Chain A
Amino acid sequence: MNSLRYEAPSSLGDAIALLAGASGTSRILAGGTDIIVQMETDLIEPDLLIDIKKIPELRRIAVENGAFTVGAAVTGMELTDHVAFCKAWPGVVDGVKLIGSMQIKGRATMGGNLCNASPAADSVPALIAAGAIARIAGPNGTRDVPVENIPIGPGKTSLDKGEIIVSFLLPSRPSHSGDAYLRMTPRTEMDIAVVGVGINITLDAGGVCTAARVSLGAVAPTPLLVAEAGAALIGSPLDAPALDKLAQAAGAACRPIDDKRGTKEYRVKVAAVLAKRTALLALERARQNT
């Protein structure tokens, strides 16, 4: 007899208690698009699955004064159907759209995408670039952590036992802001990113960049926030010299591996190329966003 137990608590407190009190291997079940695959291919054999989709605060999208709170178990489809969110954060939506097919988006969540902690997770670079904060609840209360500090290695997060990500807080957007996420895959869809780049910028009224965050995916054990790449854009109108510096910084930040999806050399080259293209897309959006 297998030892797997399935629970579907309807309150955050119950979920935390289950998670904190569990012995053996427990996993949170949001969309299941990673967990169920891992179970099917015998990579994990959990003893407890905690389905969090009945917990209201994990399923809400709320906006207050331009700042969004997105529940960690909101699905990709729900997010991409949310008109206001798409308008404010098209780059984050780019990333969410690329997590997988339409069918996958019907289930996949940003919380799951982040906590599965694949270095190539598609929604993470744009979330990092957006400056998103993860609101975490656990047996010792709640805490807020920048998204870039959640993944600590392939398949590993900084969450303590019993902790669950409740929601993502995205700050309100200054005007002339734009974000974008691009990735390189061999096919047009359905692939894991060989390189992913998320860029978020703010321009001043004169078109000069006043703030920039650049995040790279699939080129290191975790998604990276590359300070030097962001710095390369600040103070510039994102002209060719600035983009060259950006590309260089992006390439230099890569610590990629050779695997069946791409070689080290290829990833470094692609990171540089994609950084420029992503910056230009973010720029176009920033200019349209008054």
Chain B
Amino acid sequence: MSTILDKSGFNPDKKLKIVGSSPVKHDGIDKVTGRAKFGADLFLPGMLIGKILRSPHPHAIIRSIDTTAAESLPGVKAVVTRADFPELPKGSVAGDMSRNAMAREKALYDGHPVAAVAAISESIAKQALKLIKVDYEALPHVIDPIDAMKPEAPILHDHIRTKGVKDAAEKKTNVVERLELKMGDVEAGFAQADVIVEHEYDTKPMHQGYIEPQGCVATCTEDGQVELWCCTQGPWVFRNRLTEILKIESSKIRVTQSELGGGFGGKTGFYAEPIAVLLARKSKRPVKIVLTRGEVFRGTGPVSGTRSRIKMGVTKDGKITAADAELVFQTGAFTGSMFFNAPQAMFTRYDLKNVKTVSYEVVSNRPKVNSFRAPCVPQVVFGVEGVVNELAQKIGMDPLDLRIKNAATEGYKTIYGETFGPIGFLETLIAAKNCDHYKSPVPKGQGRGVAAGFWFNRGGETTGTLNIATDGSVTIILGTTDVAGSRISISMMAAEELGIPVDKVRAVMADTHALGWNRITAGSRTTYSSGMVIIDSARKAITELCRRAGLIWGVPEEGVVFEDGYCRPASSNVGEFPPLSIAEIAGKTTLTLGAIAGHSEMNVTGAGPGFGVHIVDVDVDQELGRVDIKRYTVVEDAGKAIHRLQVEGQYQGGAVQGIGWALNEEYVYGEDGRLQNPSFLDYRMPVASDVPMIDTEIVEVPNPRHPYGLRGVGEVPVTPTMAAIANAIGAVIGVRPRSLPMSPPKILKLIEEARAAR
């Protein structure tokens, strides 16, 4: 049976009424009035405040925990330690997850939770934490992944043996996995090249920097029904993971998503939530835990730092013949960095036949990493796009022309096995070449850099429902979290399908009891996947509307068609009936056949890859090493921009996150293994005066697998950013930086070295 996934019904000539415009988003009013409820904004009667005790040691055996004094402090209603977590095998997925939520045998990073309390006030809870006695045996620690790979490095997990290595020695190691991904013959490829460029790069760990700290409220009844209100990028995933690590049946857990104050991948995993549930279960009262900013930096999931060696070769007339890379990713205290994205994506946009990559994932005494946009990819594109630039320089070719000449197109078989359908990389490059920014001369003293990026874009398991009320208005029930405004885009698609104004559609974000499984908001999948199931639901509802019209008119179902919000007779043969609106049909049904709705659950496929090209002009204060971003343009293929302002917003937000990552953001550790900058003062994200307006060009090369041709757009915009900025800095100072962040002292050093070398 053919489904919407086989036949999307995409029609490039269809005149669209709503899709492609920019209506005010329906959840906007709550955002501008402060009414929107985020994780910390729920209050329940009898609610307790939960606080977490965290290890001050980066690596230590936890010999014992004595909570008696804390438990007897008046006002304390529950105390939780590792003893309250079910035993799960070390090294299993659930075992790692549980041990990250609360340390079991060892504390593995500065900030690792070791105990928690719930009390009637925050000050009592804080006092109680001080009364908990933890007996630590401090162990030597290791922070840097290269150090962690050395034979003498302290070992975090006795059970780790490097995956992917034949005859991995029966020796303990911090190297979790060696992943080799290749195609063609790189030796032959390099032999064909006239110019070869090879460099090493390094990037520091950073943080997603969402402004909302994690906040949740958990309740647990006497018969074990758990309710969890939290900000999350995946209510169903959270529920499943709670089941896995706390051994509570999923049907007894209801996770309700609050509005999300930024996630960017960092809220796809839980931190305080299992602790809140256990405290609620023990106290039988609601427990709220809101992380402080310091806890967010120390105890959630930062972004991987990397080392890489990248080598590419090109012929003198501009054909890239081979690419080779060796990459090291740090994953923090537990595996799970998604490092495999890097070799799959790093060169994927160029028509390369010969590629070899070897990637390593390494644990060390830092918090376990979590995703950021395009997890593990921007860090290595930082290097790739520098090498591509240098190849262009060395053969005297314009940097965009070299990319145009080597652009992958439809039919290209990627290193991860997928063959591209229609893609828009070439179109995006050409649009970048023709855009106002690129055509205007570089202002005196400034430098210009360009870089290109790619992201797979994902589909995945999604469920949705579309309900038609008796007055003809529509609600759509969504599960995949709306991080920035996908709700309105999906409402627009529903309205377009049904031929009704978008104001007649309201989106509701469902909890885990009310809707089937939805995968996390990640992979730029939300508008695509939730759009797909809601369109499918709308079409099913339309089929039912036609059937009801047939019943009303006394004609067969096949004799009814749906157009622009009305059921009409398919032809005059069927009969002369005035068209029936959705409202008219819906209004007649409750007493007879019942409500009209559509429902859809599917593993959404067909997500089309996205490509972006960034152009940036920078100024460098050569006495201080300070970089100033003067002009920035993002050119990116959206397939079809459902809501134009939303799409622009994704491009702009991603670019500025990349600017911060490029210039100043990094985790700074002391010799003692403790994080030195767990605050927004010293973790330097861009402020409004640090950046210019970010110009955008939306390219639209439709993805025909989607009814409206859309492609995900959320992650592509971070991938080329740091590379573009580094290329621009190189154009000013004569040396292209290879280490992130490109902070003033490092840039000043490069300037001095370049001067000395001349």
Please say whether the chains A and B touch (CB closer than 8 A). yes
Which residues in window 180-233 of A have CB below 8 A to B?
184, 186-192, 194
Among B292, B624, B625, B677, point to the contact of A260 (Cβ < 8 A): B677
What are 24 contact pairs spanning A and B, CB under 8 A?
A2-B127, A41-B294, A184-B624, A184-B626, A184-B744, A186-B626, A186-B684, A186-B743, A187-B684, A187-B690, A188-B687, A189-B687, A189-B690, A190-B684, A190-B687, A191-B681, A194-B744, A260-B668, A260-B676, A260-B682, A266-B744, A269-B748, A273-B623, A273-B624
B744: which A residues are within 8 A, CB to CB? 184, 186, 194, 266
Q: Is B261 an interface residue (CB 8 A)?
A: no
Q: Is the CB of A188 within 8 A of B684?
A: no
CB A195 to nearest CB in B, in angstroms, measures 9
Complexed CA–CA distance, A261 and B743 (Å): 10
Q: Is A262 an interface residue (CB 8 A)?
A: yes
Chain B CB count within 10 A is highest, among A186, A188, A265, A270, for A186
Q: Is B663 an interface residue (CB 8 A)?
A: yes
* Chain B residue nearest in CB terms to A269: B748
Q: How large is the interface on B (under 10, 10 to 19, 20 to 34, 35 or more residues)?
A: 20 to 34
How many chain A residues touch B (CB < 8 A): the figure is 22
- B contacts, CB < 8 Å to A: 123, 127, 292, 294, 623-626, 663-664, 668, 676-677, 679, 681-682, 684, 686-687, 689-690, 743-745, 748
A175: which B residues are within 8 A, CB to CB? none
Q: Is the CB of A261 within 8 A of B682?
A: yes
Among B127, B681, B690, point to the contact of A188 (Cβ < 8 A): B690
Is chain B's interface secondary structure helix, strand, loop, or mixed overall? loop
Among A2, A187, A274, point to the contact of B123 (Cβ < 8 A): A2
Complexed CA–CA distance, A269 and B749 (Å): 11
Complexed CA–CA distance, A186 and B127 (Å): 38
Complexed CA–CA distance, A270 and B745 (Å): 9
* Chain B residue nearest in CB terms to A188: B689
* Chain A residue nearest in CB terms to B627: A186
Q: Is the CB of B689 within 8 A of A266?
A: no
Q: Is A25 an interface residue (CB 8 A)?
A: no
Is chain A's interface secondary structure helix, strand, loop, or mixed overall? loop
A194: which B residues are within 8 A, CB to CB? 744
A262: which B residues are within 8 A, CB to CB? 745
Chain A CB count within 10 A is highest, among B294, B681, B743, for B681
CB B418 to nearest CB in A, in angstroms, measures 41
A184: which B residues are within 8 A, CB to CB? 624, 626, 744
Q: Is A263 an interface residue (CB 8 A)?
A: yes
Q: Can you list, as one digit per residue, whether each of A254-290 has a CB less than 8 Å from chain B (1) or not (0)?
A: 0000001111011001100110000000000000000
B677: which A residues are within 8 A, CB to CB? 260
Complexed CA–CA distance, A262 and B677 (Å): 13
**Known pairs A187-B664, A187-B684. 10 more at Cβ < 8 A?**
A2-B123, A41-B294, A188-B690, A189-B689, A192-B682, A260-B668, A260-B676, A260-B682, A266-B745, A273-B624
A263: which B residues are within 8 A, CB to CB? 745
A190: which B residues are within 8 A, CB to CB? 681, 684, 687
B626: which A residues are within 8 A, CB to CB? 184, 186
List 6 A-B pairs, minimum CB-CB distance, nearest first. A266-B745, A188-B689, A273-B623, A260-B668, A260-B676, A186-B664
Complexed CA–CA distance, A246 and B676 (Å): 34
A266: which B residues are within 8 A, CB to CB? 625, 744-745, 748
Chain A CB count within 10 A is highest, among B624, B626, B676, B687, for B624
CB A268 to nearest CB in B, in angstroms, measures 11
* Chain A residue nearest in CB terms to B685: A187
Complexed CA–CA distance, A164 and B294 (Å): 32
B292: which A residues are within 8 A, CB to CB? 40
Q: Is the CB of A192 within 8 A of B681?
A: yes
Q: Is the CB of B684 within 8 A of A191?
A: yes
Q: Can you list, as one digit per residue, whether each of A166-190 has a CB less than 8 Å from chain B (1) or not (0)?
A: 0000000000000000001011111
Complexed CA–CA distance, A154 and B481 (Å): 47
Q: Is the CB of A187 within 8 A of B686?
A: yes
CB B130 to nearest CB in A, in angstroms, measures 10
CB A8 to nearest CB in B, in angstroms, measures 21
CB B685 to nearest CB in A, in angstroms, measures 9
CB B754 to nearest CB in A, in angstroms, measures 15
* Chain B residue nearest in CB terms to A272: B623
Complexed CA–CA distance, A37 and B744 (Å): 27
CB A151 to nearest CB in B, in angstroms, measures 20
Q: Is the CB of A187 within 8 A of B748?
A: no
B682: which A residues are within 8 A, CB to CB? 192, 260-261
Complexed CA–CA distance, A189 and B690 (Å): 8
Q: Can you list, as one digit per residue, whether each of A230-264 has a CB less than 8 Å from chain B (1) or not (0)?
A: 00000000000000000000000000000011110
Contact (A270, B684) CB under 8 Å given A2-B123, A260-B668: no
Complexed CA–CA distance, A270 and B668 (Å): 22
CB B120 to nearest CB in A, in angstroms, measures 13
Complexed CA–CA distance, A2 and B684 (Å): 34
* Chain B residue nearest in CB terms to A274: B624
CB B337 to nearest CB in A, in angstroms, measures 25
A186: which B residues are within 8 A, CB to CB? 626, 663-664, 684, 743-744
* Chain B residue nearest in CB terms to A100: B681
CB B359 to nearest CB in A, in angstroms, measures 30
